[in-house]
A and B are shown apart, each in its own frame.
Chain A
Amino acid sequence: MSADDVTVSLTVNGEARELAVDPRTTLLDALRERLGLTGAKKGCDHGQCGSCTVLLDGRRVNSCLVFAVAAGGSELVTIEGLADGEQLHPVQSAFLEFDAFQCGYCTPGQICSAVGMLAELADGWPSAVTDRLAGEPELTEAEIRERMSGNLCRCGAYANIVPAVRQAAG
């Protein structure tokens, strides 16, 4: 620890964590390099690929664009915190069932993003492809593709990600 480090308190996957960080440390680097949570991946590191997606106070965000110090006091859920013991989260199960990945690098971000996205849908949030802003959006294939557009898959597993997300939505 250097004299200029800043102490940050976070709740990560239900557990209170405290660490001293250089203010330049992103949330992604803090998770991966300091807390040993390597599920969130560093792809572009510029908010363009979505592989670092985590749930910050219940909402999906790019952890590569958040300084860890700025997240102090927040509750964080990463891919490691989605399952309930041995019981996978429904989105995780659906990704397995539909073989919604190839190399797997983008998968933690895809799954966290889908969990956040389904919560947004449950809250009635519209998207760019929702026909009527005043109505309740329905989870069509076009809606899934639009709402998941912040997560790139360079293997091109989209054809299986879409039905996996649809099944997880129930």
Chain B
Amino acid sequence: MRRFDYHRAADVDAAVLLLADRPGAKLLAGGTNLTDLMKLGVEQPDALIDVSRLGLDEISELPDGGLRIGAGVRNSDLAAHPAVRRGYPVLSRALLSGASGQLRNLATTAGNLLQRTRCRYFQDVSKPCNKRRPGSGCPAIEGDHHNLAILGASEHCVATHPSDLAVALVALDAELTVRGGDAERTLPLTGFYLPPDDRPDREYGLGHAEVITAVTVPALSFGAVSGYRKARERASYAFAIGSVAAALDVTDGVVADVRIALGAVAHKPWRASIAERALVGEPAVVESYERAIDAELAAARPLRDNGYKVGLIRRLVVATLAELAGDPELRS
């Protein structure tokens, strides 16, 4: 592992200043992904700026019913928070379906959103990878891509984003609060993840000297009727091969409103906007769900060995929506 200097930032402003001074520095929060990538030689920061004790660990209920989640809130605390379990079960379910108890106790909200792909070529420094070494090539396209992207990929990169939490937050239209210099800005999480195109090494719309301080979940009247379904290759403690975050509002048997996001299918949590538009005003029945997700998945471009994801996502979406429509209490 490359040697690094360790700094414990006193506050957010100090962290921003330290980042601005050190182009090779990285923020350290829970460290569950960064430490591992440093051991693998994928990440080689020359300084770590520890932001785990900045007091960014509060969860506030906003007057309008939304939530403000500090960037440093641990995954386990967010999943167990009464307001999250009651008002946004999709968030608790997504978090609890990811990693292990030990990892959730370390991992933070913003760190989870910034974690890197688990594509095996990205994690192996002896292999080419356009995300790790731009222009070196993508062995996954011909190699092991059984759990890589079917939507939004490019000829340069077919990696998927591994987070479960991010899928739920994208479904809920979450916004990031970011501090850089003296300025603070907010930006939607949808759109935060950049398309791979010909520069898959550029992943986020975040400057080097910017720090995420909070994630805001806007109020959603039917947030309590939400859930997360995840398919994986073992029963627990594994990354998704496909997942769905959804919230559903059914009035008089008709879909009044719906939120759907898909995981493990693209470089980002995939907001299924086409399916959402196709569903509003339709009867809340399985045939409507099938037509809607088929419209979304028409854009899917599977590789040799990941075509199974199209059918998998279709079944996950249909089952999730049917469950939410059938018994709103079931997932809360």
| Interface residue ranges, A against B (CB under 8 Å) | 4, 6, 22-24, 26, 45-47, 50, 53, 56, 59-62, 65-67, 69-70, 72, 113, 116-117, 120, 123-128, 130, 132-134, 145-151
B3 at the interface (CB under 8 A from A): yes
Q: Which residues of B sit under 8 angstroms from A116, Cβ to Cβ?
A: 101-102, 105
A65-B36, A125-B79 known; 12 new pairs, CB 8 Å cut-off, are: A4-B3, A23-B48, A24-B4, A47-B102, A53-B102, A66-B35, A67-B6, A70-B28, A70-B48, A126-B80, A149-B236, A149-B237
Contacts of B31 in A (CB 8 A): 65-67, 70
Asked if residues A60 and B236 are in contact (CB atoms below 8 Å), the reply is no
Within 8 A of A (CB), among B49-92: 50, 52, 76, 79-80, 85-86, 89, 92
Asked whether B92 lies within 8 Å of A26 as measured between CB atoms, the reply is: no
| A146 closest partner in B (C-beta) | B236
With the chains together, A62 CA to B103 CA distance in Å?
Answer: 7
Per-residue A-contact encoding for B231-267, CB less than 8 Å = 1, 0 else: 0000111000000000000000000000000000000
Given the complex, which residues of B lie within 8 Å of A148, measured CB to CB?
101
* B100 adjacent to A150 (CB under 8 Å): yes
Name, among B52, B79, B101, the residue most crowded by chain A CB atoms within 10 Å (CB to CB).
B101
Given contacts A24-B4, A133-B85, contact A46 B36 (CB under 8 A): yes
Q: A62-B102, A70-B52 are in contact. Are A128 and B35 (CB under 8 A)?
A: no
**B-side binding surface: helix, strand, loop or mixed?**
mixed
A132/B36 in contact, CB under 8 A: no
Count residues on chain B whose CB falls below 8 Å from chain A CBs: 37
User: Is A150's CB under 8 angstroms from B237's CB?
Assistant: yes
Kindly report which residue of chain B lies nearest to residue A22, judged by CB atoms: B3
Known: A66-B35, A70-B6. A59 touches B105 (CB 8 A): yes
- 9 of the cross-chain contacts (CB-CB < 8 Å) are A65-B31, A65-B35, A66-B31, A113-B102, A116-B102, A116-B105, A125-B80, A134-B86, A149-B101
Output the least CB separation between A158 and chain B (Å): 12
A46 to B235, CA, bound (A): 20
A120 touches B76 (CB 8 A): yes
Q: Are B93 and A128 in contact (CB under 8 A)?
A: yes
Which residues of chain A are within 8 angstroms of B100 by Cβ–Cβ distance? 50, 149-151
Question: Which residues on A sit within 8 Å (CB–CB) of B48?
Answer: 23, 67, 70
Minimum distance in angstroms from B128 CB to a CB of chain A: 22
Distance of B261 from chain A, by nearest CB (Å):
18
**How far is A117 from B100 in the complex, measured between Cα atoms in Å?**
11
Q: CB distance A126 to B102 under 8 Å?
A: no
- Nearest 7 interchain pairs by C-beta: A150-B100, A149-B236, A133-B85, A149-B237, A128-B96, A125-B80, A59-B105
Contacts of B96 on A, CB cut-off 8 Å? 126-128, 130
Tell me if B97 and A50 are in contact (CB < 8 A): no
Task: Give B85's nearest chain A residue, CB to CB.
Answer: A133
Chain A contacts for B89, CB-based, 8 A? 133
Docked pose: A46 CA to B79 CA in angstroms: 24
**Which residues of A have CB within 8 Å of B103?**
47, 62, 65, 150
- For window 5-64 of chain B, which residues contact chain A by CB distance below 8 Å? 5-6, 8, 28, 31-32, 35-36, 39, 48, 50, 52
In the complex, the answer to whether B85 meets A134 with C-beta atoms within 8 Å is yes
> Is B288 interfacial (CB 8 A cutoff)?
no
Asked if B6 contacts A6 (CB within 8 A), the reply is: yes
Residues B105 and A61 in contact, CB atoms below 8 Å apart: yes
Q: How far is the CA of A93 from the CA of B1 in the complex (A)?
A: 40
- Residue B332 lies at the interface, judged by CB distance under 8 Å to chain A: yes
- Whether B39 lies near A67 (C-beta < 8 A) is no
Task: Give bound CA distance, A9 to B215, whole Å.
Answer: 33
Residues of B within 8 A of A69 (CB): 6, 50
Asked if residues B39 and A45 are in contact (CB atoms below 8 Å), the reply is: yes
Kindly provide the distance from the CB of B233 to the nearest chain A CB, expressed in whole angstroms.
13
Instruction: Let me know if A124 and B80 touch, CB within 8 A.
Output: yes
Q: Is B106 an interface residue (CB 8 A)?
A: yes
Q: How far is the CA of A60 from the CA of B332 in the complex (A)?
A: 27
